[in-house]
Protein backbone atom coordinates (compact mmCIF):
# COMPACT_ATOMS: atom_id res chain seq x y z
CA UNK A 1 0.00 0.00 0.00
CA UNK A 2 2.75 2.49 0.96
CA UNK A 3 4.78 1.50 -2.13
CA UNK A 4 1.78 2.34 -4.30
CA UNK A 5 1.23 5.65 -2.51
CA UNK A 6 4.91 6.58 -2.80
CA UNK A 7 4.82 5.88 -6.54
CA UNK A 8 1.68 7.99 -6.88
CA UNK A 9 3.32 10.86 -4.99
CA UNK A 10 6.42 10.77 -7.21
CA UNK A 11 4.17 11.25 -10.24
CA UNK A 12 1.75 13.64 -8.51
CA UNK A 13 3.71 15.52 -5.79
CA UNK A 14 0.89 17.72 -4.57
CA UNK A 15 -1.17 17.07 -1.44
CA UNK A 16 -4.59 18.48 -0.64
CA UNK A 17 -6.70 18.06 2.49
CA UNK A 18 -9.49 20.54 1.71
CA UNK A 19 -11.78 20.32 -1.32
CA UNK A 20 -12.18 24.10 -1.24
CA UNK A 21 -8.49 24.41 -2.14
CA UNK A 22 -8.19 21.63 -4.69
CA UNK A 23 -5.69 21.50 -7.52
CA UNK A 24 -6.02 19.12 -10.44
CA UNK A 25 -3.71 16.13 -10.27
CA UNK A 26 -3.25 16.16 -6.49
CA UNK A 27 -3.54 13.44 -3.87
CA UNK A 28 -6.44 14.02 -1.50
CA UNK A 29 -5.98 12.93 2.12
CA UNK A 30 -9.31 12.57 3.92
CA UNK A 31 -8.29 13.80 7.35
CA UNK A 32 -10.73 13.89 10.24
CA UNK A 33 -11.17 16.52 12.93
CA UNK A 34 -13.49 17.39 15.76
CA UNK A 35 -16.06 18.93 13.45
CA UNK A 36 -15.35 17.39 10.03
CA UNK A 37 -14.71 14.08 8.30
CA UNK A 38 -12.68 14.26 5.12
CA UNK A 39 -13.94 10.83 4.06
CA UNK A 40 -17.28 12.46 3.27
CA UNK A 41 -15.57 14.74 0.73
CA UNK A 42 -13.50 12.10 -1.09
CA UNK A 43 -15.91 11.82 -4.01
CA UNK A 44 -16.01 15.61 -4.42
CA UNK A 45 -12.19 15.71 -4.40
CA UNK A 46 -12.03 13.18 -7.23
CA UNK A 47 -14.67 15.08 -9.20
CA UNK A 48 -12.54 18.21 -8.84
CA UNK A 49 -9.46 16.54 -10.29
CA UNK A 50 -7.70 14.58 -7.56
CA UNK A 51 -5.99 11.48 -8.94
CA UNK A 52 -6.41 9.57 -5.69
CA UNK A 53 -8.37 9.88 -2.46
CA UNK A 54 -6.69 8.39 0.61
CA UNK A 55 -9.50 7.35 2.97
CA UNK A 56 -9.94 5.22 6.09
CA UNK A 57 -13.70 4.61 5.94
CA UNK A 58 -14.55 1.67 3.65
CA UNK A 59 -18.16 2.84 3.38
CA UNK A 60 -17.17 5.78 1.15
CA UNK A 61 -15.39 3.55 -1.40
CA UNK A 62 -17.82 2.77 -4.24
CA UNK A 63 -17.98 -0.75 -5.69
CA UNK A 64 -18.61 -1.71 -9.29
CA UNK A 65 -19.29 -5.41 -9.83
CA UNK A 66 -17.96 -5.91 -6.29
CA UNK A 67 -14.63 -4.28 -7.24
CA UNK A 68 -13.51 -1.15 -5.39
CA UNK A 69 -12.92 2.03 -7.35
CA UNK A 70 -9.13 2.13 -7.86
CA UNK A 71 -9.03 5.90 -7.37
CA UNK A 72 -9.66 5.33 -3.65
CA UNK A 73 -6.80 4.14 -1.47
CA UNK A 74 -8.19 2.60 1.72
CA UNK A 75 -5.75 2.78 4.65
CA UNK A 76 -6.09 2.04 8.39
CA UNK A 77 -5.49 5.67 9.40
CA UNK A 78 -5.24 8.62 7.01
CA UNK A 79 -3.26 10.86 9.38
CA UNK A 80 -0.72 8.16 10.16
CA UNK A 81 -0.37 7.44 6.44
CA UNK A 82 0.26 11.13 5.74
CA UNK A 83 2.95 11.18 8.43
CA UNK A 84 4.57 7.99 7.10
CA UNK A 85 4.64 9.42 3.59
CA UNK A 86 6.28 12.60 4.92
CA UNK A 87 8.91 10.60 6.83
CA UNK A 88 9.70 8.61 3.67
CA UNK A 89 9.93 11.80 1.61
CA UNK A 90 12.28 13.40 4.15
CA UNK A 91 14.64 10.42 3.84
CA UNK A 92 14.88 11.00 0.09
CA UNK A 93 16.81 14.26 0.56
CA UNK A 94 20.18 14.73 2.21
CA UNK A 95 19.82 18.43 2.93
CA UNK A 96 19.93 20.65 6.04
CA UNK A 97 16.64 20.72 7.94
CA UNK A 98 16.26 23.56 10.43
CA UNK A 99 13.61 23.14 13.13
CA UNK A 100 12.42 25.73 15.61
CA UNK A 101 9.93 25.77 18.43
CA UNK A 102 9.18 27.96 21.44
CA UNK A 103 6.37 29.58 23.37
CA UNK A 104 6.55 32.97 21.64
CA UNK A 105 7.96 34.32 18.41
CA UNK A 106 8.12 31.05 16.48
CA UNK A 107 6.47 32.23 13.29
CA UNK A 108 8.24 35.60 13.16
CA UNK A 109 11.62 33.97 13.80
CA UNK A 110 10.91 31.29 11.20
CA UNK A 111 10.03 33.92 8.61
CA UNK A 112 13.13 35.98 9.43
CA UNK A 113 15.33 32.88 9.06
CA UNK A 114 13.58 32.04 5.81
CA UNK A 115 14.25 35.57 4.57
CA UNK A 116 17.98 35.54 5.34
CA UNK A 117 18.63 32.02 4.04
CA UNK A 118 16.71 32.77 0.84
CA UNK A 119 19.46 35.27 0.01
CA UNK A 120 21.69 32.30 -0.83
CA UNK A 121 19.61 29.13 -0.95
CA UNK A 122 16.40 27.76 -2.40
CA UNK A 123 14.35 27.38 0.74
CA UNK A 124 11.18 25.46 1.50
CA UNK A 125 9.56 26.52 4.76
CA UNK A 126 6.45 26.08 6.86
CA UNK A 127 3.68 28.25 5.45
CA UNK A 128 2.08 30.49 8.07
CA UNK A 129 1.85 28.54 11.30
CA UNK A 130 1.14 25.06 9.91
CA UNK A 131 3.30 23.68 12.67
CA UNK A 132 1.47 20.72 14.21
CA UNK A 133 1.19 16.97 13.58
CA UNK A 134 -0.60 17.74 10.31
CA UNK A 135 1.16 20.92 9.22
CA UNK A 136 4.71 19.61 9.59
CA UNK A 137 4.12 16.55 7.37
CA UNK A 138 2.48 18.80 4.77
CA UNK A 139 5.48 21.14 4.91
CA UNK A 140 7.91 18.24 4.47
CA UNK A 141 5.94 17.03 1.45
CA UNK A 142 6.40 20.44 -0.23
CA UNK A 143 10.12 19.73 -0.59
CA UNK A 144 11.29 18.96 -4.10
CA UNK A 145 14.58 18.39 -5.90
CA UNK A 146 15.22 22.14 -5.98
CA UNK A 147 15.03 22.55 -2.18
CA UNK A 148 18.43 23.24 -0.61
CA UNK A 149 17.27 23.93 2.96
CA UNK A 150 14.01 23.01 4.71
CA UNK A 151 12.79 25.18 7.60
CA UNK A 152 10.15 23.71 9.88
CA UNK A 153 8.24 25.50 12.62
CA UNK A 154 7.10 23.08 15.31
CA UNK A 155 4.22 23.81 17.65
CA UNK A 156 2.88 21.65 20.42
CA UNK A 157 -0.24 21.55 22.54
CA UNK A 158 0.40 18.29 24.39
CA UNK A 159 3.29 16.13 25.54
CA UNK A 160 5.03 14.04 22.91
CA UNK A 161 4.22 16.18 19.88
CA UNK A 162 7.73 17.63 19.42
CA UNK A 163 9.14 14.11 19.70
CA UNK A 164 6.84 12.95 16.90
CA UNK A 165 7.70 15.92 14.69
CA UNK A 166 11.47 15.48 15.09
CA UNK A 167 11.13 11.78 14.29
CA UNK A 168 9.28 12.64 11.08
CA UNK A 169 11.59 15.45 9.98
CA UNK A 170 15.07 14.49 11.26
CA UNK A 171 16.29 18.08 11.79
CA UNK A 172 20.00 18.76 11.47
CA UNK A 173 19.88 22.08 13.35
CA UNK A 174 17.41 24.07 15.38
CA UNK A 175 16.55 26.52 18.13
CA UNK A 176 14.02 27.18 20.84
CA UNK A 177 12.96 30.83 20.85
CA UNK A 178 11.95 30.79 24.53
CA UNK A 179 9.82 28.84 27.01
CA UNK A 180 6.81 30.42 28.68
CA UNK A 181 3.17 30.01 29.56
CA UNK A 182 1.68 28.99 26.21
CA UNK A 183 -0.71 26.00 25.98
CA UNK A 184 -0.54 25.35 29.71
CA UNK A 185 -3.84 23.51 29.37
CA UNK A 186 -2.10 20.65 27.55
CA UNK A 187 0.86 20.39 29.93
CA UNK A 188 -0.43 21.28 33.39
CA UNK A 189 2.65 23.19 34.54
CA UNK A 190 5.35 25.44 33.05
CA UNK A 191 7.82 22.61 33.75
CA UNK A 192 5.80 20.40 31.44
CA UNK A 193 6.18 22.95 28.65
CA UNK A 194 9.90 23.19 29.31
CA UNK A 195 10.34 19.43 29.05
CA UNK A 196 8.29 19.24 25.86
CA UNK A 197 10.17 22.04 24.10
CA UNK A 198 13.46 20.56 25.29
CA UNK A 199 12.74 17.45 23.24
CA UNK A 200 14.22 19.35 20.29
CA UNK A 201 17.49 19.80 22.20
CA UNK A 202 17.42 16.09 23.08
CA UNK A 203 17.02 15.05 19.47
CA UNK A 204 19.75 17.34 18.13
CA UNK A 205 22.17 16.24 20.84
CA UNK A 206 21.73 12.55 20.01
CA UNK A 207 22.19 13.23 16.27
CA UNK A 208 25.15 15.63 16.64
CA UNK A 209 23.00 18.41 15.25
CA UNK A 210 23.66 22.12 15.66
CA UNK A 211 21.82 23.99 18.42
CA UNK A 212 21.31 27.76 18.44
CA UNK A 213 20.73 29.24 21.90
CA UNK A 214 19.82 32.73 23.08
CA UNK A 215 22.61 33.40 25.57
CA UNK A 216 20.63 36.05 27.46
CA UNK A 217 17.83 33.61 28.27
CA UNK A 218 18.63 31.84 31.51
CA UNK A 219 15.86 29.28 31.05
CA UNK A 220 17.36 28.11 27.76
CA UNK A 221 20.87 28.01 29.20
CA UNK A 222 19.57 25.90 32.08
CA UNK A 223 17.92 23.50 29.66
CA UNK A 224 21.24 22.98 27.88
CA UNK A 225 23.04 22.49 31.18
CA UNK A 226 20.48 19.96 32.43
CA UNK A 227 21.00 17.95 29.26
CA UNK A 228 24.81 18.26 29.39
CA UNK A 229 24.82 19.78 25.91
CA UNK A 230 28.30 21.15 25.33
CA UNK A 231 29.11 20.50 21.67
CA UNK A 232 27.69 22.03 18.50
CA UNK A 233 26.07 24.99 20.28
CA UNK A 234 26.02 28.41 18.62
CA UNK A 235 25.08 31.23 20.99
CA UNK A 236 23.46 34.47 19.93
CA UNK A 237 22.47 37.51 21.96
CA UNK A 238 24.00 40.64 23.42
CA UNK A 239 27.13 41.04 25.52
CA UNK A 240 25.08 43.34 27.76
CA UNK A 241 22.19 41.85 29.70
CA UNK A 242 18.87 43.65 30.14
CA UNK A 243 20.03 44.97 33.50
CA UNK A 244 23.13 46.52 31.92
CA UNK A 245 25.61 44.00 33.34
CA UNK A 246 28.08 42.30 31.03
CA UNK A 247 27.55 38.68 30.03
CA UNK A 248 30.57 36.63 31.01
CA UNK A 249 29.91 32.87 30.83
CA UNK A 250 32.53 30.52 32.21
CA UNK A 251 33.36 29.30 28.73
CA UNK A 252 34.55 32.75 27.70
CA UNK A 253 31.70 33.37 25.28
CA UNK A 254 31.99 36.76 23.59
CA UNK A 255 28.90 38.28 22.01
CA UNK A 256 28.45 41.57 20.16
CA UNK A 257 27.17 44.76 21.71
CA UNK A 258 23.51 45.13 20.79
CA UNK A 259 21.05 47.96 21.30
CA UNK A 260 17.48 48.44 20.13
CA UNK A 261 15.11 51.36 19.83
CA UNK A 262 11.78 52.28 18.33
CA UNK A 263 11.75 54.94 15.62
CA UNK A 264 8.24 56.00 14.61
CA UNK A 265 7.04 52.82 16.28
CA UNK A 266 9.27 50.50 14.27
CA UNK A 267 12.19 48.50 15.62
CA UNK A 268 15.74 49.58 14.82
CA UNK A 269 18.54 47.27 15.94
CA UNK A 270 22.23 48.09 16.23
CA UNK A 271 24.49 45.03 16.26
CA UNK A 272 28.25 45.38 16.57
CA UNK A 273 29.85 44.41 13.26
CA UNK A 274 26.66 44.88 11.23
CA UNK A 275 25.06 47.83 9.42
CA UNK A 276 22.11 49.44 11.21
CA UNK A 277 18.96 47.32 10.83
CA UNK A 278 15.74 49.28 10.28
CA UNK A 279 12.83 46.84 10.36
CA UNK A 280 9.12 46.78 9.61
CA UNK A 281 8.49 45.11 12.97
CA UNK A 282 7.30 46.78 16.13
CA UNK A 283 8.26 45.57 19.58
CA UNK A 284 11.64 45.56 21.30
CA UNK A 285 10.85 41.92 22.13
CA UNK A 286 11.61 41.06 18.50
CA UNK A 287 15.32 41.82 18.97
CA UNK A 288 16.23 38.22 19.97
CA UNK A 289 14.32 36.94 16.94
CA UNK A 290 16.44 39.12 14.68
CA UNK A 291 19.66 38.07 16.42
CA UNK A 292 18.66 34.44 15.91
CA UNK A 293 18.18 35.01 12.18
CA UNK A 294 21.57 36.74 11.92
CA UNK A 295 23.28 33.85 13.74
CA UNK A 296 21.66 31.29 11.45
CA UNK A 297 22.62 33.33 8.39
CA UNK A 298 26.24 33.50 9.55
CA UNK A 299 26.34 29.74 10.16
CA UNK A 300 25.08 28.98 6.66
CA UNK A 301 27.44 31.42 4.96
CA UNK A 302 25.08 34.28 4.10
CA UNK A 303 26.96 37.60 3.85
CA UNK A 304 26.17 40.03 6.65
CA UNK A 305 25.02 42.77 4.29
CA UNK A 306 22.65 40.33 2.60
CA UNK A 307 21.28 39.16 5.94
CA UNK A 308 20.67 42.72 7.11
CA UNK A 309 18.91 43.57 3.84
CA UNK A 310 16.69 40.52 4.22
CA UNK A 311 15.72 41.39 7.79
CA UNK A 312 15.08 45.01 6.84
CA UNK A 313 12.93 43.91 3.92
CA UNK A 314 10.81 41.49 5.91
CA UNK A 315 7.22 42.72 6.34
CA UNK A 316 5.12 40.95 9.01
CA UNK A 317 1.58 39.82 8.28
CA UNK A 318 -1.36 38.08 9.96
CA UNK A 319 -1.46 40.71 12.73
CA UNK A 320 1.88 39.71 14.24
CA UNK A 321 3.95 42.67 15.48
CA UNK A 322 2.43 44.94 12.82
CA UNK A 323 2.46 48.73 13.01
CA UNK A 324 -0.63 49.83 11.07
CA UNK A 325 -1.49 53.45 10.36
CA UNK A 326 -5.21 53.89 9.80
CA UNK A 327 -7.01 57.09 8.86
CA UNK A 328 -7.65 57.81 12.55
CA UNK A 329 -5.12 55.94 14.71
CA UNK A 330 -2.03 53.77 14.85
CA UNK A 331 -2.66 50.11 15.62
CA UNK A 332 -0.09 47.77 17.09
CA UNK A 333 -1.64 44.62 15.68
CA UNK A 334 -0.50 41.57 17.63
CA UNK A 335 -3.78 39.72 17.69
CA UNK A 336 -2.83 36.28 16.42
CA UNK A 337 -1.97 34.77 19.78
CA UNK A 338 -1.48 35.63 23.42
CA UNK A 339 -0.18 34.18 26.66
CA UNK A 340 0.96 35.89 29.87
CA UNK A 341 4.55 36.37 28.67
CA UNK A 342 3.74 37.72 25.22
CA UNK A 343 0.99 40.03 26.52
CA UNK A 344 3.28 41.46 29.19
CA UNK A 345 5.97 42.15 26.57
CA UNK A 346 3.45 43.77 24.24
CA UNK A 347 2.21 46.07 27.01
CA UNK A 348 5.76 47.00 28.02
CA UNK A 349 6.46 47.86 24.40
CA UNK A 350 3.32 50.01 24.23
CA UNK A 351 4.21 52.09 27.27
CA UNK A 352 7.79 52.55 26.01
CA UNK A 353 6.46 54.55 23.06
CA UNK A 354 6.49 58.31 23.75
CA UNK A 355 3.14 60.02 24.24
CA UNK A 356 0.10 59.93 26.50
CA UNK A 357 -2.46 58.83 23.93
CA UNK A 358 -2.05 55.07 24.36
CA UNK A 359 -4.88 52.54 24.62
CA UNK A 360 -5.10 48.76 24.74
CA UNK A 361 -7.60 46.23 23.47
CA UNK A 362 -6.86 43.01 25.35
CA UNK A 363 -8.57 39.71 24.60
CA UNK A 364 -8.68 36.60 26.75
CA UNK A 365 -5.62 34.33 26.85
CA UNK A 366 -6.81 30.83 26.01
CA UNK A 367 -5.48 27.32 26.72
CA UNK A 368 -4.01 28.19 30.13
CA UNK A 369 -5.80 25.42 32.00
CA UNK A 370 -5.75 25.76 35.79
CA UNK A 371 -3.66 28.95 35.47
CA UNK A 372 -6.44 30.81 33.63
CA UNK A 373 -7.92 32.73 36.56
CA UNK A 374 -4.55 33.62 38.09
CA UNK A 375 -3.03 34.69 34.76
CA UNK A 376 -5.89 37.04 33.90
CA UNK A 377 -5.95 38.53 37.40
CA UNK A 378 -2.21 39.22 37.26
CA UNK A 379 -2.54 40.83 33.84
CA UNK A 380 -5.32 43.10 35.08
CA UNK A 381 -3.18 44.05 38.07
CA UNK A 382 -0.28 44.90 35.76
CA UNK A 383 -2.44 47.07 33.50
CA UNK A 384 -3.66 48.99 36.55
CA UNK A 385 -0.07 50.22 37.04
CA UNK A 386 0.34 51.47 33.46
CA UNK A 387 -0.33 54.97 32.17
CA UNK A 388 -2.94 54.07 29.57
CA UNK A 389 -5.67 56.42 28.43
CA UNK A 390 -8.20 53.64 27.99
CA UNK A 391 -8.46 49.85 28.13
CA UNK A 392 -10.99 47.58 26.44
CA UNK A 393 -11.25 44.01 27.72
CA UNK A 394 -12.72 41.27 25.51
CA UNK A 395 -13.82 37.88 26.80
CA UNK A 396 -15.27 36.31 29.95
CA UNK A 397 -11.94 35.64 31.69
CA UNK A 398 -10.86 39.27 31.64
CA UNK A 399 -14.39 40.42 32.51
CA UNK A 400 -14.31 38.30 35.67
CA UNK A 401 -10.82 39.48 36.60
CA UNK A 402 -11.70 43.15 36.05
CA UNK A 403 -14.76 42.78 38.26
CA UNK A 404 -12.81 41.01 41.01
CA UNK A 405 -9.99 43.54 40.92
CA UNK A 406 -12.37 46.51 40.55
CA UNK A 407 -10.10 47.62 37.72
CA UNK A 408 -10.47 50.31 35.08
CA UNK A 409 -11.65 49.72 31.55
CA UNK A 410 -14.71 48.62 29.62
CA UNK A 411 -15.55 44.92 29.28
CA UNK A 412 -17.15 43.18 26.30
CA UNK A 413 -18.10 39.52 26.08
CA UNK A 414 -17.06 39.23 22.43
CA UNK A 415 -15.30 41.18 19.70
CA UNK A 416 -18.49 42.08 17.83
CA UNK A 417 -19.81 43.95 20.87
CA UNK A 418 -16.64 46.04 21.01
CA UNK A 419 -16.89 46.79 17.29
CA UNK A 420 -20.45 48.07 17.74
CA UNK A 421 -19.39 50.20 20.70
CA UNK A 422 -16.50 51.76 18.78
CA UNK A 423 -18.77 52.61 15.86
CA UNK A 424 -20.57 54.97 18.21
CA UNK A 425 -17.45 56.04 20.10
CA UNK A 426 -14.68 56.10 17.48
CA UNK A 427 -11.20 56.69 18.91
CA UNK A 428 -8.95 59.16 17.14
CA UNK A 429 -5.31 60.14 17.45
CA UNK A 430 -4.49 57.08 19.58
CA UNK A 431 -1.83 54.40 19.60
CA UNK A 432 -3.82 51.22 20.23
CA UNK A 433 -2.38 47.83 21.11
CA UNK A 434 -4.63 44.98 19.94
CA UNK A 435 -3.56 41.76 21.65
CA UNK A 436 -5.38 38.51 22.41
CA UNK A 437 -5.65 34.83 21.60
CA UNK A 438 -6.72 34.04 18.06
CA UNK A 439 -9.91 32.39 19.29
CA UNK A 440 -11.16 35.74 20.61
CA UNK A 441 -11.22 37.09 17.06
CA UNK A 442 -9.60 40.49 17.54
CA UNK A 443 -8.45 40.28 13.91
CA UNK A 444 -12.08 41.04 13.05
CA UNK A 445 -11.77 44.29 14.98
CA UNK A 446 -8.73 45.27 12.92
CA UNK A 447 -10.47 44.31 9.68
CA UNK A 448 -13.61 46.28 10.63
CA UNK A 449 -11.67 49.57 10.33
CA UNK A 450 -13.61 51.11 13.22
CA UNK A 451 -10.24 52.09 14.65
**pLDDT tens string for the chain (451 positions)?**
899 999 999 999 999 999 999 889 999 999 998 899 999 999 999 999 999 999 999 999 998 777 778 999 999 999 999 999 999 999 999 999 999 999 999 999 999 999 999 999 999 999 987 999 999 999 999 999 999 999 999 998 888 999 999 999 999 999 999 997 655 666 667 788 899 999 999 999 999 999 999 999 999 999 999 999 989 999 999 986 655 555 554 555 678 999 999 999 999 999 999 999 999 999 999 999 999 999 999 999 999 999 999 999 999 988 889 999 999 999 999 998 899 999 999 999 999 998 889 999 999 999 898 899 999 999 999 999 999 999 999 999 999 999 999 999 999 999 999 999 999 999 999 999 999 999 999 999 999 999 9
Rounded to whole angstroms, how far apart are CA atoms 185 and 374? 13
The per-residue pLDDT for 63 is: 84
Q: What is the pLDDT of residues 60-81, one digit of tens each?
A: 999 877 777 899 999 999 999 9
Class of 322-448 in CATH: alpha beta
The per-residue pLDDT for 184 is: 63
Domain range 93-313, its CATH number among 3.40.1190.10, 3.90.105.10, 3.10.450.50, 3.90.1210.10: 3.40.1190.10
* Cα angle value 366/129/365 (rounded, 5°): 10
Please state the domain extents for the chain.
2-76, 93-313, 322-448
Distance between first and last Cα of the chain: 55
Residues 340 and 378 sit within 8 Å (Cβ to Cβ): yes
DSSP 439: G
Rounded to whole angstroms, how far apart are CA atoms 127 and 150? 12
Question: What are residue 10's phi and psi, to 5 degrees?
Answer: -60, -40
The per-residue pLDDT for 245 is: 54
Instruction: Order across the sheet with 322-325: list the strands.
Output: 322-325, 330-334, 431-435, 358-363, 390-394, 410-412
The per-residue pLDDT for 318 is: 86
The per-residue pLDDT for 254 is: 72
Rounded to whole angstroms, how far apart are CA atoms 319 and 335? 6
The per-residue pLDDT for 246 is: 54
Residues forming a β-bridge with 335: none
Rounded to whole angstroms, how far apart are CA atoms 424 and 441? 20
The per-residue pLDDT for 67 is: 73
Cβ neighbors of 229 (< 8 A, separation 6 or more) are 201, 205, 211
Instruction: Name the fold adopted by 2-76.
Output: 3.40.1390
Nearest to 268 by CA among 200, 317, 323: 323
Amino acid sequence: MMDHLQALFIDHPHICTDTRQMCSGCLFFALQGEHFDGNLFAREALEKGAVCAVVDNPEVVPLKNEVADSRYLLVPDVLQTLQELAAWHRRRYNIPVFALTGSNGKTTTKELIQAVLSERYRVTATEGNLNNHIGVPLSILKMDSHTEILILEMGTSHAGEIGLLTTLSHPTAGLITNVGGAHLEGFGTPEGIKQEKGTLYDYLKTRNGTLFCHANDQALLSMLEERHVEKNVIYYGSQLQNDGTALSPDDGLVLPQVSSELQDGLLVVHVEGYPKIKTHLTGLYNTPNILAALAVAEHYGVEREQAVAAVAGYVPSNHRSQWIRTSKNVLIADAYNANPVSMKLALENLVSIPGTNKCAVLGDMLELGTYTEQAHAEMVQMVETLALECVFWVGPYFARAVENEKAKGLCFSKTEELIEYLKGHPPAGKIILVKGSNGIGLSRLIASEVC
